[in-house]
Amino acid sequence: MNKNLKSFTLRQLGEIVEKPYNSIQIYRWIWKKGVDRIEEFSDISKRLRKKLIDEGYFVGNIGEKFRINSSDGSVKFVFEDGYEAVYMPEKNRNTVCVSSQLGCNLKCKFCATGLLGFRRNLMAWEIADQVLQISKKLNKKITNVVFMGMGEPLLNFENVKQAIRIMTSHIGLNIGAKHITISTSGIVPKIYELANFDRRVKLAISLHSAIEEKRIKIMPIAKAYSLREIKEALIYYLEKQRLRITIEYIHLKGFNDTDEDIYELRKFIRGIDCKINIIPYNKVDYFDWEAPNEEDVYNFYDKLKKILDNVVITIRWSKGRDIYGACGQLGYQLVHNAK
């Protein structure tokens, strides 16, 4: 049995200790104060602390293997067996991009993580601990979390939900649910589940093309869930959670940036409260796509603006490109070393 106290829910902790409020105290020490020595839980009786230690309980952290600082202020952390998280400071917020799996099975044709294949699901505490460790090590208050690191979060959804409960708890990391975004490639049944989840978290959908054949070409998972099914699920999510959806659109120069692509995108988003986030493709060796330059991206943006009247469109100039910490680049070093 794993006796790392971080791996227990509040309710499970309650079964280990004698009094319910002891579980709340322990949870607070671990997830709010970031203390990892049971001896230091000073508002808990010495007898209970000793009992926990004697029974083999401990507070384990995910181990940092190394970190790399980017010139833009972001920092990529590589943990344990190779999963990664990226800290991204901005003017009014500090965001951590977390991984939910080590590797990924979905093999999108622009993503280094997909090249790794699936290695394992991360446990709930390993996901939440990425935020806690980064906050502690950099001495920063983390305000936002995005599930845009390694893995498809909706394919490890039970652990992701539990991690979100830890992150949003006021006796935990205390991050507002609406400051957490789950990004999915479009796992339709799980989008319905997310719509009914007891935390109101934001949803981002990696669309990348509103033309079925093109989408299938770059995202094999698109064979399993059609654009029509995805749209229905998004509408259901909106009805339930009432939070504007982000449509993520990786800009692959010459592939998905024609007028036809934009007209199809316009059809797709009709009736969906959304904003569009253009992600200029970040170059990853092993793929032949051409990364658009700034002028290409702004031309595409202008065309979108013209055709998609009244829709909010943003460009995500990815942080951490120089450290392989940008979108689609996580896991690059693991892949590179394995070749």
Residues recognised as catalytic: 84, 327
Stretch that binds ligand SF4, among 24-32, 83-91, 150-158, 305-313 (CB under 6 A): 150-158
| Residues 6+ positions from 170 with CB-CB distance below 8 Å | none
Residue 86 binding ligand SF4, by CB under 6 A? no
| Residue 114 beta carbon to ligand SF4: minimum distance, rounded to whole angstroms | 3
Residue 152 binding ligand SF4, by CB under 6 A? yes
Q: Which of 151, 172, 280, 325 binds ligand SF4 (CB under 6 A)?
A: 151
Alpha-carbon span 149 to 161, nearest angstrom: 16
Alpha-carbon span 79 to 63, nearest angstrom: 6
Q: What residue type is assigned to position 324 of the chain? A: Y
Residue 280 binding ligand SF4, by CB under 6 A? no
Residue 153 binding ligand SF4, by CB under 6 A? no
Residue 111 binding ligand SF4, by CB under 6 A? yes
Q: Which of 106, 131, 134, 326 binds ligand SF4 (CB under 6 A)?
A: 106
| Residue 191 beta carbon to ligand SF4: minimum distance, rounded to whole angstroms | 14
Stretch that binds ligand SF4, among 28-36, 53-61, 78-86, 103-111 (CB under 6 A): 103-111
Buried b (16+ CB within 10 A) or exposed e, 75-89: bbbbbeebbbbbbbe
73: left (phi over 0), alpha (psi -120 to 50) or beta: left
Residue whose pair of structure tokens reads 């939440």 in the numeric block: 128
Q: Which residues on neighbouring strands pair with residue 277, listed in sequence order?
A: 248, 314
Type and span of the H or E element at 144: strand 144-147
Closest to ligand SF4 by CB, 29 vs 289, is 289
Q: Which of 38, 88, 104, 132 binds ligand SF4 (CB under 6 A)?
A: 104
* Number of residues in the chain: 339
Task: State the CB neighbour count (10 A cutoff) for residue 247.
Answer: 22
Q: Which of 59, 75, 108, 127 binds ligand SF4 (CB under 6 A)?
A: 108
Q: Which of 313, 303, 296, 316 is nearest to 254 (CA)?
A: 296
Q: Which of residues 169-228 bind ligand SF4 (CB under 6 A)?
A: 185
| Residue 158 beta carbon to ligand SF4: minimum distance, rounded to whole angstroms | 18
* Cβ proximity of 72 and 57 under 8 Å: no
Residues that bind ligand SF4 (CB under 6 A): 104, 106-108, 111, 113-114, 150-152, 185
